[in-house]
Structure 1
């Protein structure tokens, strides 16, 4: 709808196995800023069983939490069931802004919600602002991050998905008072889809890792990836990868870093045999310390690296591993 009979900011708090995804706290942080600018309330919606710590969303900034309660139906990432319940709530409370995390599930869920509400959606935003007309300005990279598009909608609710790790988490305030409103589900089954098995490797957590050792197209085989894994384990980190390596099938997409993969901000990022295409740099350039190993001295990765090592990674990485093992090197 174009007329302004909508009010408030609503964020979708994603959960899995009763654990709230950290992107929800980032959305609450940004949502608090937007709601203060507009002069409205900040709410969150979470779907799951009674035992979910919905109060945590109050501590993180929400004035109200709408807890859509069901013991089992929200255990599986069924977008259709989630969509029906969220759309029903939005039609009832009419928030002017709705924000979703640009996680794998959020990217699938948000377009379905927007379609049923007959409103627009800006995907993968990196910033959000309020203009002089009190409208949401949704900012996202375009043309391989060569420009930033500023998008404004006249239709309510104004919807966006926001990339993980773009904003700071809202700090916890246990003195904050808010209201938790429990709501029964409006849809509890989906006859069109049956989840048989979840095959994603849940042990991969590149986005939250403090250290990421990433491999590029220079890795010739899955066996050669073992030295990357060994270095990552020694440093207490995770293995990342460029899109080129993922496309060879040597490593799964869960490890991919870049514009079409994971956006990360580790304390230390070690790029091994990665040339540094713009799409890759977009996902890791905000890392604390960047160490690049590449045999091409003109590789673009060196333009963003804090420490550059020009040479054959097949010789350099084993030397680093040996030095760490012998306590001759710390990172």
Structure 2
């Protein structure tokens, strides 16, 4: 049997029959479908689907080969096409999730282990120096001190609650590192979120702000943060992300405290907060959870801002966002974001 006997083609993911075929081959490999895939590639032997794999942003997901065709050649063919697709999309730093049993196969195909959790999930990347280079760049911003803190935030959008958390952490720290999630799956684009946060804290001296990148709550380390799965997948991705932070990022910058706001609304974020308290102290990082800031009548949250936007009640957010956030929302650029939020039926975090 040779490669010429197999056919590779993109599978139209909006076709119901296609999903059933994909689910069948995934189930055979003890995998579940990821409905957020942007593109799916199939390998066929005649009309039979014998291998499947998908892409989302810079990750490869749902990679499975029919057990009758396992052994290397079909996987090589599938992976070659998936990598070609990513390169065509302009993505060269590629990540994938796999189980320990498949680690050897993906190593053979040029992928390298970033980290693994509970002998159940492994994050790999095709750049052997990806994490190393990321940490090297970060280390240039290391600041000496007794209390070196970190906040990881989305800021979707930047509220008075975010500002309160930053001000509290900066007062209690010698230096504060803020990582802003760089995925554009949030309602407010990354560039907008970063601009509002940076502008909102420009008068605080002991703060450094960074793009989150690939190794902090990203599609690589914690994809279920963005798709809101309610399964064991969330637990594994949470542990993976926090292990990378505690094992590599925290020591790189000398971080020994991580601040977080209470989360009474979002189940996934609350799960993450609880995992933080359990995992990060193992790496010498104290987790400090701050009660959520509130107005006279309610807690402040970015989700309430987005809910008001969806309803067209922009005036109602005046008391829970900084003036710069409100000014943005009433600007021409802000109007475009508002239209996008109101027209989208997808719930964003």
TM-score norm. by structure 1 comes to 0.28
Relative to total residues, which structure has the larger strand share, 1 or 2?
1
RCO higher in structure (CA 8 A, sep ≥6): 1
Query: Would you tell me which structure has more helix in proportion to its own residues?
Result: 2
